[in-house]
């Protein structure tokens, strides 16, 4: 059985969503899971989870593009692993990849390895750039925002406010409030 999954980030992307549904129907998907949520927002994409639960051994999960399915390479590999354990293939229409074939598995593995290699190179260049900027005295790192507000946090704590209220008023996280109060206590 061919099972489709379609996703757009927002409800305003109607044309893209409709195009995905049309393409999935055209290739013969008998059931299509659909949702309009961001892939990068934390939390579970419920329809993707439902699709992954629904598919059975011998089925193929079909998506139009890889970015409709996974938010990153590790996420993609996690999904593929789940599908493989269930005996389910993955077909990505835009890339003409079908993991039910040896060639499809090979192509997906090669593409995944290349993507991972490119990411490692990018991170290496970024670290080289940071090191060069530090050497030149141009890189200072992120400004410690919570430490700069320690006096304000301590003053609010003296007034008897809750940790959450202090965090809200000072514009820092609750964890930062606890850290500042703990450091002040050990310093005293």
Annotated catalytic residues are 9
C-alpha–C-alpha distance, residues 157 and 146, integer Å: 15
Residue recorded with tokens 């450091």: 183
Please give the DSSP secondary-structure letter assigned to residue 94.
G
Residue recorded with tokens 């079909």: 62
Bridge partner list, 97:
92
SS3 171: coil
C-alpha–C-alpha distance, residues 148 and 96, integer Å: 53
Residue 57: φ, ψ to 5°: -50, 130
C-alpha–C-alpha distance, residues 119 and 163, integer Å: 39
- Specify the pairing of strand 97-98 against strand 89-92: antiparallel
C-alpha–C-alpha distance, residues 91 and 68, integer Å: 12
Q: Which helix (H) or strand (E) holds 63?
A: strand 60-63
């Amino acid at each position: 059985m061919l099972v489709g999954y379609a996703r757009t980030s927002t409800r305003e992307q109607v044309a893209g969503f409709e195009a995905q549904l049309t393409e999935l129907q055209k290739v013969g998907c008998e059931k299509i899971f659909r949702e309009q949520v961001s892939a990068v927002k934390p939390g579970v994409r419920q329809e993707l989870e439902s699709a992954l639960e629904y598919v059975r051994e011998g089925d193929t999960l079909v998506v139009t593009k890889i970015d409709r399915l996974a938010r990153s390479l590790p996420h993609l590999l996690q999904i593929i692993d789940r599908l493989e354990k269930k005996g389910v293939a993955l077909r990505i229409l835009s890339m003409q990849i079908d993991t039910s074939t040896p060639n499809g598995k090979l192509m997906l593995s090669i593409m995944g390895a290349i993507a991972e290699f490119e990411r490692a190179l990018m991170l290496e260049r970024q670290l080289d750039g940071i090191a060069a900027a530090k050497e030149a005295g141009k890189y200072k790192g992120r400004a410690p925002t919570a430490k700069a507000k320690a006096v304000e946090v301590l003053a609010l704590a003296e007034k008897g406010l809750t940790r959450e209220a202090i965090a809200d008023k000072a514009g820092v996280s609750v964890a930062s409030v606890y850290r500042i109060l703990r450091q002040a206590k050990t310093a005293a």
